[in-house]
Amino acid sequence: MSSYRIQGATGEWEVVIGLEVHAQVVSNAKLFSGASAAFGAQPNQSVSLVDAAMPGMLPVPNEECIRQAVKTGMALGAEINRWSRFDRKNYFYADLPQGYQISQLYHPLVGEGTITIDADEKAGIAEARTIGVERLHVEQDAGKLMHDQHPTRSYVDLNRSGVALMEIVSKPDMRSPSEAGAYLRKLRSILRYVGSCDGNMEEGSMRADVNVSVRKPGDPFGTRTETKNVNSIRFVMAAIESEANRQVDVIEGGGTIVQETRLYDPDRNETRSMRSKEDAHDYRYFPDPDLLPLELSEEFVAQCRAELPELPDAKRARYEGELGLPAYNAAVLTSDVETARWFEALLDATGKPGAEVARAASNWLISDLFGALNRLGKAIDESPVSPKQGAELLALVADGTLSGTLAKQVFEIMLETGDDPAKIVEERGLKQTSDTGAIEAVIAEVMAANADKVAEYRGGKDKLFGFFVGQTMKAMGGKANPGVVNELLKKALG
Amino acid sequence: MTAITDLGIAGLRDGFRAGDFSAREIADAFNGAVAGAKALNAFIIETPDHAIAAAEAADRARAAGELLPLSGVPLGIKDLFCTAGYQTTAASRMLGGFTPTYESTVTAKLFAAGAGMLGKLNLDQFAMGSSNETSAFGNVVSPWRRNDGGNAALAPGGSSGGSSSAIAARIVPAATGTDTGGSIRQPAAFTGIAGIKPTYGRCSRFGIVAFASSLDQAGAMAQDVRDSAILLEAMSGFDPKDSTSLDVAVPQWEANLSSDLKGKKVGIPKEYRVDNMPPEIDALWKQGIEWLRDAGAEIVDVSLPHTRYALPTYYIIAPAEASSNLARYDGVRYGLRDLPEGANLQEMYAATRAAGFGPEVKRRILIGTYVLSAGFYDAYYTKAQKVRALIARDFEEAFRQVDVLLTPTAPSAAFALGEKSADPLEMYLNDVFTVPASLAGVPAMSVPAGLDGQGLPLGLQIIGRPLDEQGVLNAGLAIEQRAGFTAKPQNWWAK
């Protein structure tokens, strides 16, 4: 259990958090129409007659969206309901052309599952925790209103109207903002692995409704509030903290928490009441009579399972087990599907995809490549160096052509020019030398120029050995094989 | 010689093929009849240009020897079907001036089969009504008059009252209808024509302005059973654009028509013997039984025990679905918008919907909103769904014993306009015999079977197994042949 507590005037308070995540399904078309679901079209360019709710138009489920949701459910280890049904959620708003949203209240597509969040000492998560997922269902997104286009009118953009969303509802299992953050990161990671949602919170393809309540440790759950539509992990964590503190203040001030919907204002870092339970909508949910129950064939479910990729937890275990990577490396490489993909392409390109080169490859990726990408402000899928080039570089180190220092130099040039490492080594003569004759000659020069230090070393000042290594390497332009240098120096210095 | 406008689909089709007349002559004759029958108020708009264009295409097709099933046949189209380029209103101010850019699947099929369109037929507003008095474009008048010497204007039935009136008056040879709780069958019975509601899912709902999605079904209205079969065949078929459409082949109903009912069993449900049933209707029902026996069928008494719950069940489910289906008429994107000066969004909704919907539509939206609201949902909607399942099971069990059921179509002949409009319950009771088949989704048709003492038509209803439209049509044909219904209304409307 989390040790996160809010210190109130009356003692410690525990925070109870549940998250409802809306994740936009990756699909060419909307949930019930053939219109494009791509982001970034001109307003009202991706709107079919169905999306605009013209008279007589009917929804037809898009199998691809259902497939994505089923695969996501499987990735959460959840039960897939072979029989589910769509319901209408009725309310009026200008961005909701039908006057109802097609959703799944009574019989969701996916039942209970879990998400494991990892231990993170820095974030106060002492050990890995399993967070329950209550359900996953599919539903339509609404359009959006634009209030800044005209002095007295609001404009409506229906491009998002009808786009498929997965609503993934957690159990109230989280106990700190960090756990909520870790849950969201892990969920996003899983969605990206499955390829069912791009997880891009800035573009709104993943948003969270945050349920928060507080209680004295050991007490039953308190009354919760729901903060709607928070659109970054950082804001989710900040909203929880601010809302939990507000609730503690209210309760300790003698008030009671009202079950209500709130909004988070990131500029002021506070939540504000949107509407209370009393004036909550009566959505008049009922089964959508335009749609038959969604019945999944055994074949369809099996196909979804077969299409499911290796997921982050399994991959991580394999990296640690089969590849023998340190836990840290395995965790870093698997947290994001693009990184894992890049790493596996790198391993493949070495021609020896296995434990043999995995550790060196993982270290290089995590320190050198990540360092460079950070500096360049690029994501891994935008890396100027390809996995194949990375593998070639690692091979040059492994066969002694390049020292570690030389490899770093070559990598810098690769980043700049995009050239293959072999070409750079060839053209710039950066090859490491193990030519003992040449190295011995340089050592002799170094010892002659530093006769006093040679005497001191031989007089017992062992630490000076490093000095001689440095001088020799320097004189050789860094191209000498450090192992050979060490060996020959020991011999020469006696 | 018979006037062209006296002919139905088969007569026109066959005469056209035989070269008795051109398609253009047919179109001109019916366009003229339509233009001369304004007193019936059967049309919301007339579309003579469409009928002429289709006729000219049919004449060219005939010359080229490339005839289509409905080449040369013009039709009336209920104004609930969206027609590309032609105003579609659902008889509501809400959609006044609304012209779809798209074609309903049913009308697309009919036009692809060579049919032309004479106009968009009037109906009860959003298909909600049993008398056509809820239309925002004025009520349709039945061409029939009582033989009592009075001139009371009679209801053509509803909601497909424009269709029934126009066919009975012979200003269209046939028409599309839609039936949610009896909207094809009851008007057919009131006006002495045939009308069939097929199995739910036979005809695509795509492009039909929705009333109650789980009940709405398009169907055929025509002078007789054969024409109904021809028209329904052209309207039916799987449509991937409607999730509830049935992916089954359309049988050749016309080619397989047979009034020989040997080996068939006809069920007579005792629950349809309601209190206060006019003796004439009861007598006609008994006559119908004899006709079917004469056609070779065995008559079996059956029970549909949940029949008495059908009407209340229907008046929960249909308004519930309607309240949601009609939410899209909000003034934001198309149709009527009433935006009072300085009004906000909520006020625009309120003003638009207050001005756009008629009283009956509002009543049903209110009922539907109520039965779906928190705290009442289980007591009304959930319970109604359970009862609906029981009603469907009644039919399943009956159809284990018999092939079709015979009942009266409506508990009365046509009533006078204004006679029931003050009392919604009284009006709703007129659907008592038609609603159960709608709830069960099974095919049912009304065939004209006789006249009452006031000279008004009465219909008998045949209800069949799911997808057994053939059985329904065949039993209908057997009655039709024996009833010899040839009565026609006196023409008082033509200018």
Residue with tokens 């030389």: A406
At CB < 8 Å, which residues of chain A contact B?
A: 49, 52-61, 88, 90, 92-94, 97-100, 154, 156, 282, 284-286, 288-292
Closest Cα in chain A, distance from residue B330 (Å) = 8
Q: What is the mean pLDDT of residues A221-246?
A: 96
Q: What is the mean pLDDT of residues A423-442?
A: 83
Provide the residue type at B484 as one letter: G
- Give pLDDT, residue A233: 96
The string of pLDDT tens digits covering residues A285-343 is 999 999 999 999 999 999 999 999 999 999 999 999 999 999 999 999 999 999 999 99
- Give pLDDT, residue B426: 84
SS (H, E, C) chain B: CCCHHHCCHHHHHHHHHHCCCCHHHHHHHHHHHHHCCHHHCCEEEECHHHHHHHHHHHHHHHHHCCCCCCCCCEEEEECCECECCECCCCCCHHHCCCCCCCCCHHHHHHHHCCCEEEEEECCCHHHCCCCCCCCCCCCCCCCCCCCCCCCCCECCCCCCHHHHHHHHCCCCCEEEEEECCCCCHHHHHHHCCEEEECCCCCCCCCCECCCCCCCCEEEEEECCHHHHHHHHHHHCCCCCCCCCCCCCCCCCCCCCCCCCCCCCEEEEEHHHCCCCCCHHHHHHHHHHHHHHHHCCCEEEEECCCCHHHHHHHHHHHHHHHHHHHHHHCCCCCCCCCCCCCCCCHHHHHHHHHHHHCCHHHHHHHHHHHHHHCCCCHHHHHHHHHHHHHHHHHHHHHHHHHCCEEEEECCCCCCCECCCCCCCHHHHHHHHCCCHHHHHHCCCEEEEEEEECCCCCEEEEEEEECCCCHHHHHHHHHHHHHHHCCCCCCCCCCCC
Comparing CB atoms, the residue among A58, A61, A154 nearest residue B241 is A58
Cα–Cα distances in angstroms (integers) from residue A322 to residues A309, A330, A332, A345, A351, in the given order: 18, 11, 16, 17, 17
B346, burial (CB in 10 Å: exposed 0-12, middle 13-18, buried 19+): exposed
Whether B78 sits among the annotated catalytic residues: the reply is yes
Closest Cα in chain B, distance from residue A59 (Å) = 7
**Is A67 a residue whose pLDDT tops 90?**
yes
Q: What is the mean pLDDT of residues A452-478?
A: 87
Secondary structure E strands in A25-148: 83-84, 87-90, 100-103, 113-117, 129-140, 144-146
Distance between first and last Cα of chain A? 61
Comparing CB atoms, the residue among B321, B326, B345 nearest residue A289 is B321
| Mutation for B interface: A44, A58, A147, A161, most B CBs within 10 A | A58
**Is A405 a residue whose pLDDT tops 60?**
yes
Read off the tokens for A53: 């709710």
- Give pLDDT, residue A277: 64
Chain A residues whose beta carbon lies within 8 Å of the beta carbon of residue B102: 49, 54, 56
Catalytic residue among B92, B142, B159, B245: B159
Chain A residues whose beta carbon lies within 8 Å of the beta carbon of residue B333: 52-54, 97, 156
Comparing CB atoms, the residue among A56, A284, A291 nearest residue B209 is A56
Comparing CB atoms, the residue among B213, B373, B374 nearest residue A289 is B213
The string of pLDDT tens digits covering residues A108-124 is 999 999 999 998 888 88
Chain B residues whose beta carbon lies within 8 Å of the beta carbon of residue A94: 330, 332, 345
DSSP conformation letters of A255-313: -----EEEEEETTTTEEEEEEESTT------EE-TTS--EE--HHHHHHHHHHPPPPHH
Comparing CB atoms, the residue among B244, B320, B332 nearest residue A156 is B332
β B116-121/A225-230 pair status: unpaired
Gyration radius of chain A's alpha carbons = 30
Read off the tokens for A206: 């993943």
Listed in order, the ranges of chain A carrying CATH 1.10.10.410 are 436-493
Give the rounded percent of residues in chain A with a pLDDT score beyond 90. Answer: 75
Q: What is the mean pLDDT of chain A?
A: 93
Whether B38 has its CB under 8 Å from any CB of chain A: the answer is: no
Whether B197 sits among the annotated catalytic residues: the reply is no
Residue A110's SS3 state is: strand
Closest Cα in chain B, distance from residue A187 (Å) = 33
Closest Cα in chain B, distance from residue A305 (Å) = 26
Comparing CB atoms, the residue among A52, A92, A292 nearest residue B333 is A52
- Measure the CA–CA gap between B167 and B43, rounded to whole angstroms: 12
Residue A317's SS3 state is: helix
- Check: CB of residue B179 under 8 Å from CB of residue B235: no
**Is A79 a residue whose pLDDT tops 90?**
yes
- Give pLDDT, residue A493: 85
**Contacting residues for A62 by C-beta, under 8 A, at least 6 apart:** A27, A29, A30, A31, A32, A33, A34, A164
Chain B residues whose beta carbon lies within 8 Å of the beta carbon of residue A88: 324
Q: What is the mean pLDDT of residues A97-103?
A: 98
Mark the ranges of chain B whose per-residue pLDDT is less than 70: 1, 495
- Measure the CA–CA gap between B325 and B312, rounded to whole angstroms: 20
Catalytic residue among B71, B78, B120, B421: B78
Read off the tokens for A26: 């990756």
Residue A137's SS3 state is: strand
Residue A166's SS3 state is: strand
Q: What is the mean pLDDT of chain B?
A: 97
Closest Cα in chain A, distance from residue B380 (Å) = 12
- Give pLDDT, residue A48: 96
Cα–Cα distances in angstroms (integers) from residue A481 to residues A168, A399, A401, A490, in the given order: 56, 11, 8, 14
Chain A residues whose beta carbon lies within 8 Å of the beta carbon of residue B207: 56-57
Chain A residues whose beta carbon lies within 8 Å of the beta carbon of residue B208: 56
Read off the tokens for B137: 């474009």
- Give pLDDT, residue A203: 86
Give the rounded percent of residues in chain B with a pLDDT score beyond 70. Answer: 100
Cα–Cα distances in angstroms (integers) from residue B71 to residues B24, B54, B57, B67, B251, in the given order: 11, 8, 8, 6, 20
**Residue ranges of B 384-423 with Cβ closer than 8 A to chain A:** none
Cβ distance A290 to B213 less than 8 Å, yes or no, reads yes
Pick from A6, A102, A8, A9: nearest CA to A62: A102
| Residue A92: closest C-alpha in chain B | B327
Between A305 and A460, name the one with better pLDDT: A305
- Give pLDDT, residue B422: 85
Closest Cα in chain A, distance from residue B342 (Å) = 9
| Residue B378: closest C-alpha in chain A | A286
Residue with tokens 């009441």: A273
A340, burial (CB in 10 Å: exposed 0-12, middle 13-18, buried 19+): buried
**Is A1 a residue whose pLDDT tops 60?**
no
- Measure the CA–CA gap between A135 and A76, rounded to whole angstroms: 10
Closest Cα in chain B, distance from residue A369 (Å) = 51
Question: For the CA atoms of B310, B311, B314, B316, what is the dihedral angle to 10 degrees?
Answer: -120
Superfamily of domain B4-263+409-483: Amidase signature (AS) domain (3.90.1300.10)
Whether B5 has its CB under 8 Å from any CB of chain A: the answer is: no
Whether B241 has its CB under 8 Å from any CB of chain A: the answer is: yes
Q: Which CATH code, of 3.30.450.40, 1.50.10.20, 2.30.38.10, 1.10.10.410, is assigned to A436-493?
A: 1.10.10.410
Comparing CB atoms, the residue among B88, B243, B345 nearest residue A94 is B345
The string of pLDDT tens digits covering residues A128-155 is 999 999 999 999 999 999 999 998 888 9
Read off the tokens for B103: 């074609």
Catalytic residue among B130, B142, B164, B183: B183
Chain A residues whose beta carbon lies within 8 Å of the beta carbon of residue B357: none
**Contacting residues for A10 by C-beta, under 8 A, at least 6 apart:** A252
- Give pLDDT, residue A17: 98
**Contacting residues for B94 by C-beta, under 8 A, at least 6 apart:** B329, B335, B336, B352, B353, B356, B357
Cβ distance A290 to B244 less than 8 Å, yes or no, reads yes
- Measure the CA–CA gap between B323 and A85, rounded to whole angstroms: 20
Which of A23-32, A149-158, A347-356, B356-365 has the lowest average pLDDT?
A347-356
- Check: CB of residue A303 under 8 Å from CB of residue A91: no
Chain A residues whose beta carbon lies within 8 Å of the beta carbon of residue B242: 58, 60
The string of pLDDT tens digits covering residues A170-217 is 999 999 999 999 999 999 999 999 999 999 998 889 999 999 999 999
